Amino acid sequence: MTTHTAAQLSVTAMIDDLRSLVGVESPSLDRDALTESAKTVAAVIESRLGGQAVLVESASGPHVRWSGGGEPQVLILGHHDTVFPLGTLARRPFRVEDGRATGPGVFDMLGGLVQAVHGLATLEDRSGVEILVTADEEVGSHSSRALIEELALACRAVLVLEGAADGGGLKTGRKGCGTFEVLITGRASHAGLEPEAGVNALVEAAHQVLEIAALDRPEAGTTVTPTVMTAGTASNVVPAQATITVDVRVESAGEKERVESAFAALTPRLDGAVVTVRGGIHRPPMPGSAAAELFALAQRLLPGVEGRKVGGGSDGNFTGALGVPTLDGLGAVGGGAHSDHEYILVDVMAERADLVAGLVREIRGRR
């Protein structure tokens, strides 16, 4: 059993740590930037919780792992990569004004990381607590998924530090989500002299877009949304290539199977055209059943807190789909994820840090 001196919650100290994290930009897949970010995250964890935060190297960049020792019981799960390119901080530096902290990544999800670490610091005994802060959540968690699932299966519960839902609600269910890319190969020809000699990839893509859009079933919680299409090289050339990008969200495993099967079965309408499908629904749905027990506990600790099912995905999709009790949205209260107006509410930071600490106490069966 590992014990450390408990600390009192200080919003000023939380803001100082948040300023440090935001001050090191961490765009996904930028290994140099993510390495510096991981070192900063590790330093914050070690300074508040003691012990050693280990950098776990991966193809996407380093993940940060910390353990309180003893038998694993609860996994605190977050990420330190952000969607903002290098240089964003110069244009939009960290600020605290009118009760809001702003800056790239404050809501998604650096504020949540800070709250969790400071909440855990109020616990004298941190044994059984595992922390994993990944480097690739914003780009699909391809290099971290196996580690996430391994640690989750070793624990009794997972607490995900993504930002809260609108109004401060916790996230009790998430849709499965993924991206498909449909590649159309035709044959180029002169659009004026001999258009009939070509196979128009753009026309084929138009047929495919309509077929893909028809897979949408909002009554079942399924959205299939073509989002980007590219084709052609010049105004007088029959296009030989086209690409369709499609965003897909599903609420059930059955719908995941239906949609993936439908994409696999896409066939060309024009003679000579070829249709190739890449991608899939890489994040399975996080069912409401995964959050039910933990959400009931959160309601006892923070009366009045609401639960929301949301369309966006997180690493909680992986752990919830494994059947490990998972509660999401335990991070900062605010809004504007992935936008220039991203913010968190400073006055709620201590309350949410307390909630994480309380959940850990209860999960471990200790007070």
Residue pLDDT, tens place only, 116-135: 999 999 999 999 999 999 99
d(CA 303, CA 198): 66
d(CA 166, CA 33): 30
Q: What is the pLDDT along the chain (367 residues), one digit of tens a residue?
A: 344 567 899 999 999 999 999 999 999 999 999 999 999 999 999 999 999 999 999 999 999 999 999 999 999 999 999 999 999 999 999 999 999 999 999 999 999 999 999 999 999 999 999 999 999 999 999 999 999 999 999 999 999 999 999 999 999 999 999 999 999 999 999 999 999 999 999 999 999 999 999 999 999 999 999 999 999 999 999 999 999 999 999 999 999 999 999 999 999 999 999 999 999 999 999 999 999 999 999 999 999 999 999 999 999 999 999 999 999 999 999 999 999 999 999 999 999 999 999 999 999 985 4
CATH code assigned to 176-283: 3.30.70.360
Which 3-state string (H, E, C) describes the chain? CCECCCCCCCHHHHHHHHHHHHCCCCECCCHHHHHHHHHHHHHHHHHHHCCCCEEECCCCCCEEEEECCCCCCEEEEEECCECCCCCHHHHCCCEEECCEEECCCHHHHHHHHHHHHHHHHCCCECCCEEEEEECCHHHCCCCCHHHHHHHHHHCCEEEECCCCCHHHCEEEEECEEEEEEEEEECECEECCCCHHHCECHHHHHHHHHHHHHCCCEHHHCEEEEEEEEEECCCCCEECCEEEEEEEEEECCHHHHHHHHHHHHCCCCCCCCCEEEEEEEEEECCECHHHHHHHHHHHHHHCCCCCEEEECCCCCHHHHHHCCCCEEECCCCCEECCCCCCCEEEHHHHHHHHHHHHHHHHHHHCCC
Kindly list the domain boundaries of the chain, sorted by start residue: 11-174+285-364, 176-283
Return the sign of the alpha-carbon dihedral for residues 259, 183, 283, 330: negative
Q: Which amino acid is at 360?
A: V
Contact 158, 318 (CB under 8 A): no
Q: Given this chain, do its domains 11-174+285-364 and 176-283 carry the same CATH topology?
A: no
User: Which CATH topology does 11-174+285-364 take?
Assistant: Aminopeptidase (3.40.630)
Closest CA to 326 of 315, 310, 311: 315
- Dump pLDDT digits (tens) for 242-298: 999 999 999 999 999 999 999 999 999 999 999 999 999 999 999 999 999 999 999
